Amino acid sequence: MIDKESYIKGKGLSCPFCEAESVQGGFIQIEAGKAFQEMGCTECEGAWQDVYELIDIIPYKREG
Ligand SMILES: [Zn+2]
């Protein structure tokens, strides 16, 4: 398994187990300021979760 830092630096495009670019994202679960996405690799069948943190907002006004 490659280290988390390499996975994150690579923007999560390569599998953290086998480094194949056969990564598929699944269900996203959101909790206070964090989001978790179920991830999987179709090459080695590895599974993991990507963890996202709220870092910014984009304000806008809804029309009407
Ligand atoms: Zn893999």
Q: How many domains does the chain have?
A: 1
Q: Which of 12, 11, 51 is nearest to 33 (CA)?
A: 51
For residue 59, being part of any structural domain is answered with: no
Label residue 63 by pLDDT band (50, 70, 90). confident
For residue 17, being part of any structural domain is answered with: yes
For residue 61, being part of any structural domain is answered with: no
**What are residue 40's DSSP bridge partners?**
24, 47
For residue 60, being part of any structural domain is answered with: no
The answer on pLDDT for 64 being more than 80 is no
Measured in angstroms, how far is the CA atom of residue 46 from the centroid of ligand 1? 5
Structural domain including 38 reads 4-53
Measured in angstroms, how far is the CA atom of residue 53 from the centroid of ligand 1? 24
For residue 14, being part of any structural domain is answered with: yes
Residues 6+ apart with CB under 8 A from 22: 15, 41, 42, 43
Measured in angstroms, how far is the CA atom of residue 57 from the centroid of ligand 1? 33
Measured in angstroms, how far is the CA atom of residue 56 from the centroid of ligand 1? 31
pTM of the model: 0.82
Measured in angstroms, how far is the CA atom of residue 30 from the centroid of ligand 1? 25
2-49 residue pLDDT tens = 889 999 999 999 999 999 999 999 999 999 999 999 999 999 999 999
The 8-class DSSP code of residue 52 comes to E
